Amino acid sequence: MAKLLLVEDEPAHFDLYKRFLAEDGHEIMGAQCGEEAIDVAKRFCPSVVVLDLVLPDMDGTEAISRLLCECGQPKIVINTGYESFRYNFKCWGADAFVVKSSDPSELRAKVRQVLKPVLKKGVRAERN
């Protein structure tokens, strides 16, 4: 399917989201902080970055800017526990916004939605 980078500093949340997203057949790499996310994204070239905004080493909005500038402009799905970030203009560079829940169904749906054009483009490229 696709390469996903899951940026989450809470181990229990990381395990839940990784397990749930892997059910769709995605290759998933992880990062626990912003600097690690940027480093992994440069090497892994993910189609989508699922990004928590409250990170131990940098503000998530800074991570969005750096991922878009330094890492080939991956699609970004914000996954945060703070609804208020939705109204922060620095988050508008993201492709989707999800408020964390114990049921990751909405996260899965947003990742699928964001991936649709990426996967269609990949199928077209394989046919040519």
Q: List, as one string, the DSSP characters of 38-81.
A: HHHHHHH--SEEEE-SB-SSSBHHHHHHHHHHHSS--EEEEEES
pLDDT band, very low/low/confident/very high, at 85 (cuts 50, 70, 90): confident
Domain that holds residue 25: 3-127
Supply the CATH number for residue 51's domain: 3.40.50.2300
pLDDT in tens, 92-104: 889 999 999 889 9
Measured from the Cβ of residue 69, the count of other Cβ atoms closer than 10 Å reads 11
Report the number of distinct structural domains present in the chain: 1
Q: What CA–CA distance (Å, rounded) separates 26 from 29? A: 10
Instruction: Note the pTM of the prediction, 2 decimals.
Output: 0.89
**What number of CA atoms fall less than 13 Å from residue 61's CA on the CB side?**
9
